[in-house]
Structure 1
């Protein structure tokens, strides 16, 4: 199938999934909290596309629906168990990232000038990753996730942002590098496209380079990409895209925000025995190996995928920048 044919198949199967879930609700007389099955496009070696089917490990209803979908679609269906998908870090009052500072391969210390890949967070959040520098109305900002730079509904513009993040020893005011300036709201019960926020920097003397060099261009993902990222926890890792335009990605945000649903996401798996990302890598910019940005890392699972090391999820970078009115700084 070409991309448009695969999209039409996805649309039709989404209706079939809704029917299966509705039958399940009626049969069990329960409420609407039946786990969704994620559907997207699966890149194929011949340049075409199949259907990506994702379901959470340990949820019988989702497994049953995924199996029926695979029977309906046939061999072009790529069915994978994802494990429980979640974001980290959470707020400082909640659990810390599962990978402690002493085990992190990335940069958890105080770093000046600021550069991509270092630990950063809102004053009341544990620690995440500074993904990129962007300009909004000509002013330089740091880009990361909502759950890294905002963290909770009580946060507001002007709140301190620290480097390193509090979980890595950052303290206000001595480690303040800027203030929360803008974000895309997240709210339970709604479908979302991005988990993104920006902090206006106090000092605009920054290092813009990544391990691959400057990253100033963006591209829409087609599913053939070999990618890399540099993050606070796992450092520099390589992977490849395994699904695009993935809808109904359900992500855990902790007790305060619960589980949120995301559409049109990108899925990545590592190329080797190491995971592509772990807790604290949230906010990393993911780029092609030729230095073109494709996504903002925001969530992942510690199980699932061909190598068992979990799957990573990205917001398409174009959607992130459009939502924030930003452009990559170069």
Structure 2
């Protein structure tokens, strides 16, 4: 199918999922009022698209809906099972949907780094550790870009709160390791669909090192699917992957006790092209970019299982949606 036809099929499949959910899904299989089943577009080797169907393991009635969608659509379907999808930093409420970030297992930069650079450990003073994804300009001033759940953590956080590098899980302490303050965020609310998980830290020291392994990244693009990508993160350092789905709606992500499970629309999926995972806990906030140094997305969530090598799938907010939501540009 071409992209236009695939989008039509996606709309029809979404309606079918909604209809079946009211009749088939058991209450125990619901995630925040809906099934943990995402629908999007899956790129094919010949440049066409199939319908992407992603459903959570362990939910029998959700699996039943996925099978009915496949039967209705026909052969042009790419179906993948995932584990529970959760944010990729420790839950600030300490009700952890994923294993804790552990400094001893980290391949990335968990120590104190000055000047600041992409890929290092960073977090709100009450969070554990995530990744500094990029530097951005807002009103001519340099800020650090990462996730809401890294730089804010919870609804009670306020502009002006302390941001540490390294994050507290990696030994960061205030005031010794303060590098800035929470400057802005896009709020996340239970029961409301989201598109981005992002926040900004106003940096005390404006002298930063914006270089990535591929050089400086100042341009962005919309993910088309199939792109070879990379990221540098606090936990798994430099990893490589491929975009396996775009425009995914209803990606259900666990945020712990306070926010529960939130549904995200228009997301990007990446799987590892190596023997290990593309991301793990603590990599939240990493910028994901093409081999030519063009940014595609901001990493925020993933599963422990799924993907061709069984090490999980990673989910990104489209980078242009992130930048537009915060009113910033890449440095």
Question: TM-score, normalization: structure 1?
Answer: 0.96
1:320 has 2:311 as partner: no
Give 1:224 deviation, angstroms: 2.2
Give 1:25 deviation, angstroms: 5.3
Q: Supply the distance in 2 between the matched residues of 1:27 and 1:190 (Cα, whole angstroms).
A: 19
Are 2:32 and 2:191, in contact at CA under 8 Å, matched by a contact in 1? no
User: Which stretch of the first structure deviates more once superposed, 98-107 or 86-95?
Assistant: 86-95
Are 1:55 and 1:80, in contact at CA under 8 Å, matched by a contact in 2? yes
In structure 2, runs of 5+ residues without a counterpart are: none
Q: Supply the distance in 2 between the matched residues of 1:34 and 1:191 (Cα, whole angstroms).
A: 11
Are 2:90 and 2:101, in contact at CA under 8 Å, matched by a contact in 1? no
Residues 177, 13 of structure 1: CA spacing in aligned structure 2 closer, same or farther, 3 A cutoff? same
Aligned length: 328
Superposed CA offset, 1:195-228 (max 9, x none): 0000000001110000010011000010021000
1:54 has 2:54 as partner: yes
Aligned position for 2:86: 86
Are 2:179 and 2:205, in contact at CA under 8 Å, matched by a contact in 1? yes
Give 1:266 deviation, angstroms: 0.0
Give 1:257 deviation, angstroms: 1.0
Aligned position for 2:112: 110
Q: Supply the distance in 2 between the matched residues of 1:31 and 1:143 (Cα, whole angstroms).
A: 29
Aligned position for 2:126: 124
Give 1:236 deviation, angstroms: 0.2
User: Which stretch of the first structure deviates more once superposed, 70-79 or 258-267?
Assistant: 70-79
Residues 46, 93 of structure 1: CA spacing in aligned structure 2 closer, same or farther, 3 A cutoff? closer
In structure 1, runs of 5+ residues without a counterpart are: none
Aligned position for 2:156: 154
Give 1:26 deviation, angstroms: 8.9
Indicate which of 260, 265, 268 corresponds to 1:266: 268
Are 1:97 and 1:280, in contact at CA under 8 Å, matched by a contact in 2? no
Superposed CA offset, 1:286-316 (max 9, x none): 0001000000000000001111100000000
Aligned Cα RMSD in Å? 1.7
The alignment partner of 2:65 has SS state of helix
Give 1:116 deviation, angstroms: 0.1
Q: Supply the distance in 2 between the matched residues of 1:115 and 1:44 (Cα, whole angstroms).
A: 36
